[in-house]
Amino acid sequence: MQLYFDYGATTPCRAEVLAAMLAAYEQQWGNPASIHAWGQRAAIALEQARMQVAALINAHADEIIFTSGGTEADNLALAGITQQYSTPQHLIISAVEHSAIAKPAAALAAQGWQVTYLGVNRWGQVEPAQLRQALRDNTVLVSVIYGQSEVGTLQPIGELAAICQEAGVRFHTDAVQVAGRCPLDVRRLGVDLLSLSSHKIYGPQGAGALYVRSGLALEPLLRGGGQELGLRSGTPAVPTLVGFGVAAERAAAELETEHPRLIQLRDRLWQQLQMHPQVELTGHPWQRLPHHVSVILRDRHGQPLNGKTFVRQLNLAGIAVSAGSACHSGQTQPSSTLLAMGYDPDTAKAGIRITLGHQTTAEDIDWLVMVLRQYLADAIAPAVPMSLS
């Protein structure tokens, strides 16, 4: 049996997406900038995709800037704001950001920017009062991830964005893990910038988008022919973006049923896992992504088990999970997210992420738990009740 529990890393393309991409390769392969019929067919397909992605988050089509993925969208958000200043200013991010935000912020710090890292509580959440206290007269941007990719915690984005709006500070959120799994409404949230990724919602890899609130000025990352309102020059990958559009449309159509289904499966998994001693949930127990369960496992002596070793063991059993974020699963360093949440370095290497998706069933959950029990039998002590309080 082959079971995939790593939908937080990437998702398979839907059949409708593949069909739409193939049709685009065959019929809409022109350059959208060309004024002849071939180019205009491509341009129409591109704008259709833009409207489909915009509808997923209740944005206007002209507020969607297509990128190569979530990483580029995050980088464009930071660079697009910070490059407007001739001298370094102040930037705020959380201590649990994806590396696509954390590393550009570190590069800005090396250039003289003041960067404040908002700490998190034991569940991995930012306290809104802490953000209010961190704001300065020269703060130009705040970026806080919406759904944390390693531990699944959801941040109070609407409240954080409102604090920034009141202070006149621009606010960005990386919503890559949230899109297609939770309702997303940029008007309700009040964010200025929001990042998306196609391959997290059953679209193709190599496509993403940055929502840019109407009227907000950005500096481009890529300069050239002036595509994407001058913010992302280069001939767009039309078939790939067509696939992104179809994936976004289907995600929006299915959200009402898929969201509660994932929550039910997630809770079924956790209810069974928590019966094992020394299995510790990481992240918030209910304010979390609907498809996400993350745990730390300890041996019979209470020592944390190495996450990478555990992933390899499950892989031999035909089961795919991640050791923390997929972006770091091949590394041996402690998770910066778990460190920020107060775990010691050894324990911060023991994080396991199990993420669910369209093809996950209740039977799959039960099979995973059975395999886990077999693996843990020699490593875990007798059951001890756990409390989430």
Active centre residues (catalytic): 327
* Pairing between β-strand 170-174 and β-strand 139-143 as defined by DSSP bridges: parallel
Q: How many helices (H) and strands (E) does the chain have?
A: 11, 12
Instruction: Identify the burial level of 88 via C-beta atoms within 10 angstroms of its C-beta, where 0-12 means exposed, 13-18 middle and 19 or more buried.
Output: middle
| C-beta separation of 332 from 308 below 8 A | yes
Handedness of CA 357, 205, 56, 252 (dihedral sign): negative
**Residue whose structure tokens are 């685009």:** 24
How far, CA to CA in Å, does 48 sit from each of 42, 44, 306, 363?
A: 10, 6, 46, 38
Q: Which residues, including other chains, have CB under 8 Å from residue 219's CB and lie 6 or more apart?
A: 79, 80, 81, 83, 84
Q: Which of 80, 49, 83, 43 is nearest to 66 (CA)?
A: 49
| C-beta separation of 369 from 273 below 8 A | yes
| C-beta separation of 155 from 33 below 8 A | no
DSSP 173-212: EE-TTTTTTS---HHHHT-SEEEEEGGGTTS-TT-EEEEE
- Other C-beta atoms lying within 10 Å of the C-beta of residue 217: 10
| C-beta separation of 11 from 199 below 8 A | yes
- Number of C-alpha atoms within 13 angstroms, CB side, residue 291? 29
